Structure 1
Amino acid sequence: MSVRNLLDAAFAQPAVPATRGSGLTFTALSSGAWKEFLLGPGAGPGGSGSWDEQLAVLWKRVVAECGEAGRLAAEYDIDWELAPHEAKAVLALCGPDDVVIDVAAAALETQREQWERERRFARIHRRLPSDLSGLVPADVGALRSGLLDERDFRASTYAVQQDRAVRWLRALTGTAAYLSAAHMVPAALALDVVTTAPLDEGTRDSLRLPAPWSFITHEAVPLRAAQADDDELAALIEAGVCVGPEPVILGGLLAAQPDGRLDTTSGFLLISSLDATGKRCQVLQPASYGDHGGGRVLYGYAAQLAFARWTPPPVLPAPGPRPMSRSALGRIAASEAGQAGGFHGVRVLDFAPPPEEPPQERPAPTGSRGPLVVGTWRRAHWKPGVRIGIRDSDGRLVGPVYKDGAVEGLTFTRERRFFTRARVRPDLPLAPTTPVYRIPSPAAEQGRRR
């Protein structure tokens, strides 16, 4: 199933099941509501600053970081930096004696051992549930290894032009995913992290990621929730967000610059759906940073990576003399450290609610505005400047945080903190939904009169 069909189903009418193919692939982005969700309005391939040109920049970087650029220089005396990456995708090069070097296959080959380890572990651990509920950190291997298959590692002739973009993107995202540090968001926070309110400019400027590449995963969140405005999101929350065959977001892949700052060249969203056979497939789809739906999700991930606390991966039990045997992997999969993601080096989001602040004094309402009669939902958001009390070596506050005598730098500091979604005035009922009435057809109306 193409990403175009997948996203069309999210923003328009669902596709007829009989017309949906098996599998999930990338697609070129040119128009449609799904394109605006991923790239923002007015973006598309073929022009200056387009998504394919941006991905070429990341491809140049990935080939260097995975070690393939060094091999090209050592074995073939080819300088990877001189290839025209910003103009087009460089999938293959001509070496000495007209030897064709498949760069995409070679880049993926550097990560093949890790891919085989995770795929083998996933088969022993468990099959992913079709509704993706109850995911644990040990499932990260199944999500990541599912991005590739055996065919991706084989050399290609590139005879079919329309297959080149698919192969390029699979090689780029598959290699980068295995260069990344793995992170998982607990199920209770998945919806809030995906639907986080837009970051203020100061928060965006302060983003610093913990690794050159970060792979973040969580339980499925319907793609329509990430696109929803405040009223639509409130309706989804009240109705109960359920996951079926519709497209969902499972996480993303983010890059950092050498100094740790967020690399906004391009990000990737991990999107999944069920195919016609009921099998769940997933791809890393390019997405731009910005104030559109997909861009806000990427910034929300970046803020969690930059400011939240993450527990380090646990230490695995000793694997024994045959660490990749079925029995050894079975012991790891059944162990507490294995379930906590130790085999994949997964860091888990450790969320602690921010401290309660004293209520703000608000002026009495003026004019003809009457008292509130309905409650509302406030979406999750990052707030800068939250006061955090300074504690001594025994964990006791050294002084007041808000009252008289509070001194910044002595009794408290200020940090950015994440606030989950909350009901505003939970004592009041939510606004009733707008009733929708079906207009009867003339034939049905005539039938009732008989």
Structure 2
Amino acid sequence: MSVRNLLDAAFAQPAAPATRVSGRTFTALSSGAWKEFLLGPGAGPGRSGSWDEQLAVLWKRVVAECGEAQRLADEHDIDWELAPHESKAVLALCGPDDVVIDVAAAALATQREQWELERRFARIHRRLPSDLSGLVPADVGALRSALLDEQDFRASTYAVQHDRVVRWLRALTGTAAYLSAAHMVPAPLALDVVTTAPLDEPTRNALRLPAPWSLITHDAVPLRAAQADDDELAALVEAGVCVGPEPVILGGLLAAQPDGRLDTTSGFLLISSLDATGKRCQVLQPTAYGDHGGGRVLYGYAAQLAFARWTAPPVLPVPGPRPTSRSALGRIATSEAGQAGGFHGVRVLDFTPPPEGPPEQRPAPAGSRGPLVVGTWRRAHWKPGVRIGIRDTEGRLVGPVYKDGAVEGLTFTRERRFFPRARVRPDLPLAPTTAVYRIPNPGAASR
């Protein structure tokens, strides 16, 4: 079974329809739309093709990076590089004396100790909020450990073909998630990062990631916001985005090439939803890079990782003689450094909220057609070539940035800068024809 076919079963629960206040409602994602959102326009129903080969390339890499490939060579004299990675999923190998080696279980076993530790910490720290809002860096352990369960670490018979694909995906994404450097986007920027405008080609070419694997997380953003056009996104912002039973995006997993360039073989979006019993589940879904909904989200994450400033993980307090005991984990969980993600090595996006003030009053510029009567929303975006003043050791500008005497390289440099979404003319109301959508909130639901 191909991964594309597997996507049909993932989050099979229909998305809750939006309540229409005026205008048209949002369209729920059908099976074909799921594939198109994640893999691009050519992934609609009835089309041939598979995403298996791209994932096989990453699976080959993950088994080598987690150390299992070296163990296969040392203990069984098996060369992992010679396995047929690009033609099928290599989940098990036959070694000397007909010994069957479960590669998936062995790869996950290399990360089991860290998984168990994060799971214990998550139980001590706190239960995740039902609407996945107000997440803190210390919640990364709960998000990551929930990607796996005890059954994933056990050897499998691989008797059922469907189970093979599910196991392959969980082994690949689970192992890669624990090989990754963790990052968190502050709640006020979550929607902006997910809905960032498409990057220009020079910006894409300049992307360099900070680690071989990067896990980025944030508060829940409805998946419909990631596929919305500008008018629909403005309507969501005005109505107040809230999370219901429909799928939400919690982050993504991105790979880098050895030189730091973005590896576009495949990315993964961390998607969560409520199952039929009301329990929240989550999974890292394979997602293609491109100009479709999911691909734009991945590029938005890559730009933040490449160009934004991230604070280093804080130093934890001395744990004592038993660093993994419940009392030691409890002290870490309640400490300031623990809350800030020190236990999980989380880097947090450096963000200072803009000052709150009254709406700006601006007269119409000379020669304009007349005063504006309505305001609009501008989508978050990256802008290249922004002038940045050069400062001396005491933080003072060494010269002008824009005026006469400004010299590039001497008084200013140019950088890419991220601009969050903003109301253009916030002192004016939106157009009366703007549709407003309200997403129902089912209330508190168990995780």
TM-score tier (shorter): 0.7 to 0.9
**Closer/same/farther in 2, CA of residues 373 and 329 from structure 1, 3 Å limit:** same
- Measure, in 2, the Cα distance between the counterparts of 1:443 and 1:143: 21
Does structure 1 conserve the Cα–Cα contact (< 8 Å) formed by 2:273 and 2:282? yes
Number of corresponding residues? 447
TM-score (norm 1): 0.87
Shift of 1:431: 1.3
Shift of 1:279: 2.0
Does structure 1 conserve the Cα–Cα contact (< 8 Å) formed by 2:92 and 2:100? yes
**Closer/same/farther in 2, CA of residues 449 and 384 from structure 1, 3 Å limit:** closer
Shift of 1:263: 0.1
Does structure 1 conserve the Cα–Cα contact (< 8 Å) formed by 2:210 and 2:305? yes
Shift of 1:278: 2.5
Shift of 1:221: 0.3
- Measure, in 2, the Cα distance between the counterparts of 1:117 and 1:443: 31
Percent of aligned pairs with the same amino acid: 91
Equivalent residue number for residue 291 of structure 2 = 291
Shift of 1:14: 3.5
- Summarize deviations over 1:262-320 as a string: whole Å, max 9, x none: 00000000000122333211100000000000000000000000000000000001111
Does structure 1 conserve the Cα–Cα contact (< 8 Å) formed by 2:247 and 2:271? yes
- Measure, in 1, the Cα distance between the counterparts of 2:386 and 2:141: 36
Shift of 1:433: 3.3
Structure 2: runs of 5+ lacking an equivalent: none
- Measure, in 2, the Cα distance between the counterparts of 1:403 and 1:440: 52
- Summarize deviations over 1:180-211 as a string: whole Å, max 9, x none: 00000000000000000000000000000000
- Summarize deviations over 1:116-175 as a string: whole Å, max 9, x none: 010000000011111011110000000000000000000000001111100000000000
**Closer/same/farther in 2, CA of residues 204 and 246 from structure 1, 3 Å limit:** same
Does structure 2 conserve the Cα–Cα contact (< 8 Å) formed by 1:21 and 1:275? no
Does structure 2 conserve the Cα–Cα contact (< 8 Å) formed by 1:26 and 1:283? no
Does structure 2 conserve the Cα–Cα contact (< 8 Å) formed by 1:10 and 1:223? no
- Measure, in 1, the Cα distance between the counterparts of 2:59 and 2:436: 49
- Measure, in 1, the Cα distance between the counterparts of 2:441 and 2:395: 71
Shift of 1:363: 16
Does structure 1 conserve the Cα–Cα contact (< 8 Å) formed by 2:56 and 2:85? yes
Does structure 1 conserve the Cα–Cα contact (< 8 Å) formed by 2:269 and 2:285? yes
Shift of 1:260: 0.1
Does structure 1 conserve the Cα–Cα contact (< 8 Å) formed by 2:104 and 2:171? yes
**Closer/same/farther in 2, CA of residues 75 and 45 from structure 1, 3 Å limit:** farther
- Measure, in 2, the Cα distance between the counterparts of 1:206 and 1:187: 27
- Summarize deviations over 1:216-249 as a string: whole Å, max 9, x none: 0000000000000000000000000001211100
**Closer/same/farther in 2, CA of residues 131 and 443 from structure 1, 3 Å limit:** closer
Shift of 1:9: 12
Q: What's the RMSD between the two structures over aligned residues?
A: 7.7
**Closer/same/farther in 2, CA of residues 27 and 156 from structure 1, 3 Å limit:** farther
- Measure, in 2, the Cα distance between the counterparts of 1:442 and 1:192: 24
Shift of 1:19: 21
- Measure, in 1, the Cα distance between the counterparts of 2:88 and 2:372: 58
Shift of 1:402: 0.8
Does structure 2 conserve the Cα–Cα contact (< 8 Å) formed by 1:125 and 1:330? yes
**Closer/same/farther in 2, CA of residues 272 and 21 from structure 1, 3 Å limit:** farther
SS in 1 for 2:416: strand
Does structure 2 conserve the Cα–Cα contact (< 8 Å) formed by 1:9 and 1:15? no
Shift of 1:18: 19
- Measure, in 2, the Cα distance between the counterparts of 1:24 and 1:3: 33
- Measure, in 1, the Cα distance between the counterparts of 2:50 and 2:178: 25
**Closer/same/farther in 2, CA of residues 415 and 282 from structure 1, 3 Å limit:** same
Shift of 1:27: 21
SS in 1 for 2:418: strand
Does structure 1 conserve the Cα–Cα contact (< 8 Å) formed by 2:15 and 2:245? no
- Measure, in 2, the Cα distance between the counterparts of 1:358 and 1:392: 34
- Measure, in 1, the Cα distance between the counterparts of 2:439 and 2:207: 52
**Closer/same/farther in 2, CA of residues 288 and 25 from structure 1, 3 Å limit:** farther
Equivalent residue number for residue 124 of structure 2 = 124
**Closer/same/farther in 2, CA of residues 438 and 222 from structure 1, 3 Å limit:** closer
Does structure 2 conserve the Cα–Cα contact (< 8 Å) formed by 1:181 and 1:215? yes
Does structure 2 conserve the Cα–Cα contact (< 8 Å) formed by 1:3 and 1:24? no
**Closer/same/farther in 2, CA of residues 100 and 376 from structure 1, 3 Å limit:** same
Shift of 1:28: 19
Shift of 1:12: 11
Which deviates further from its counterpart, 352-361 or 415-424?
352-361
SS in 1 for 2:245: coil
Does structure 1 conserve the Cα–Cα contact (< 8 Å) formed by 2:15 and 2:246? no
Does structure 2 conserve the Cα–Cα contact (< 8 Å) formed by 1:308 and 1:351? no
- Measure, in 1, the Cα distance between the counterparts of 2:182 and 2:199: 23
Which deviates further from its counterpart, 43-52 or 76-85?
43-52
SS in 2 for 1:264: strand
**Closer/same/farther in 2, CA of residues 22 and 143 from structure 1, 3 Å limit:** farther
**Closer/same/farther in 2, CA of residues 442 and 358 from structure 1, 3 Å limit:** closer
SS in 1 for 2:443: helix
SS in 2 for 1:394: coil
Which deviates further from its counterpart, 123-132 or 420-429?
420-429
**Closer/same/farther in 2, CA of residues 438 and 282 from structure 1, 3 Å limit:** closer
- Measure, in 2, the Cα distance between the counterparts of 1:264 and 1:294: 13
**Closer/same/farther in 2, CA of residues 357 and 384 from structure 1, 3 Å limit:** farther
Structure 1: runs of 5+ lacking an equivalent: none
- Measure, in 2, the Cα distance between the counterparts of 1:180 and 1:135: 19
Equivalent residue number for residue 146 of structure 2 = 146
- Measure, in 2, the Cα distance between the counterparts of 1:449 and 1:258: 41
Which deviates further from its counterpart, 145-154 or 270-279?
270-279
Does structure 1 conserve the Cα–Cα contact (< 8 Å) formed by 2:374 and 2:430? yes
- Measure, in 1, the Cα distance between the counterparts of 2:417 and 2:131: 31
Does structure 2 conserve the Cα–Cα contact (< 8 Å) formed by 1:4 and 1:27? no
**Closer/same/farther in 2, CA of residues 377 and 273 from structure 1, 3 Å limit:** same
- Measure, in 1, the Cα distance between the counterparts of 2:439 and 2:266: 46
Which deviates further from its counterpart, 42-51 or 299-308?
42-51
SS in 1 for 2:217: strand
**Closer/same/farther in 2, CA of residues 407 and 41 from structure 1, 3 Å limit:** same
Does structure 1 conserve the Cα–Cα contact (< 8 Å) formed by 2:13 and 2:275? no
Shift of 1:373: 2.7
- Measure, in 2, the Cα distance between the counterparts of 1:122 and 1:443: 23
- Measure, in 1, the Cα distance between the counterparts of 2:65 and 2:58: 10
